[in-house]
Amino acid sequence: MSPRPTVLLVLAAFVLAGCGATAVPVAKKTKARAACRAHRHRSLVTRRNGFAVVVPRGALAHTRPGGRVLARFGPKNANGAPTVFGVLGSVVTPYCEPTWFWVQLPLRPNGITGYVRASDVRLLQVPTRIEVDISQRRITLYRRGRPVLHATAAVGSAATPTPTGRYYVNQRLLTNDPSGPYGPGAIGISAYSNVLTGWTQGGPIAIHGTNEPSSIGQPVSNGCLRLPNAVLRKMFAATVTGTPVIIHP
């Protein structure tokens, strides 16, 4: 995060499937012998492609399949962006049909996960992945497992560090002032500052542009990752909502 927000972030007009994410057809039960173990967890984490689910009408996140409700989500988030969850795995029938998805949630505490019913969401395959190396102050964007963009970034200061862990891109936002502290736009991440808990919407973390180019490569932000505006535009255009984001110390 940069200084306390002074510009309005406006939802970038996009359709998930039109930005590179591909809808994944659900397996259909056939007369063939069952191929999966009922209620088995299947990992959907790979280094080549990620997975996400979009929420068309709303969904409940549970602590476990059929368990206590953790949170309720509508089809759009607080910024008007479509609600999306990063997917870690699925629970399947003997015919490999998903009944639940194990998903990352854009909530505190960082790294929280839950389960959503497969019937409430739509599964998408995501070809991109972002890796952040805080010590090197580097961001790399991958497409289908291959690096396509490297960039030096400003990272969180010692007092307001960038949180580490595995997250995902939960929204893509444009600013109404490209010359402001966020530059032309922000790639929202499902992480929150572990320090600035009283900020608007809980202190969300993002990759964004900047009006302080001299800060690039320095540990000076309030937790967000700043890129030169020209680089931010390239990453923004190439990044799909639902993209896994792995932040290393």
* Active-site annotation holder among 36, 39, 150, 208: 208
Q: What is the pLDDT of residues 124-177, one digit of tens each?
A: 999 999 999 999 999 999 999 999 999 999 999 999 999 999 999 999 999 999
pLDDT at 49: 86
| Residue 247 token pair | 């932040």
Q: Please check whether residues 119 and 147 belong to one and the same domain.
A: no
Together in a domain, 92 and 178? no
Task: Specify whether 62 is catalytic.
Answer: no
**Are 142 and 207 found together in one domain?**
yes
Query: Which of 126, 153, 170 delimits the end of a domain?
Result: 126
Domain-located, residue 2: no
| pLDDT (tens digit per residue) in 165-185 | 999 999 999 999 999 999 999
Query: How much is the pLDDT for 24?
Result: 66
Count of domains forming the chain: 2
Query: How far apart are the C-alpha atoms of 200 and 84, rounded to whole Å?
Result: 20
Residue 86 lies in a domain: yes
138-143 and 113-117 beta bridge pairing: unpaired
Domain around 211:
9-13+127-248
> What angle (nearest 5°) sits at the alpha carbon of residue 116, between those of residues 115 and 120?
175
Catalytic-labelled residue, pool 19, 41, 62, 224: 224
48-52, 86-90, 125-129 — which is least confidently predicted? 48-52
128: three-class secondary structure by DSSP: strand
Q: Are 225 and 206 in contact (CB under 8 A)?
A: yes
Question: How many Cβ atoms from other residues are within 10 Å of residue 184's Cβ?
Answer: 17
Average pLDDT, the chain: 88
Is 208 a catalytic site residue? Answer: yes
Cα 67 from Cα 149, distance rounded (Å): 41
Enter the DSSP assignment of 137: T
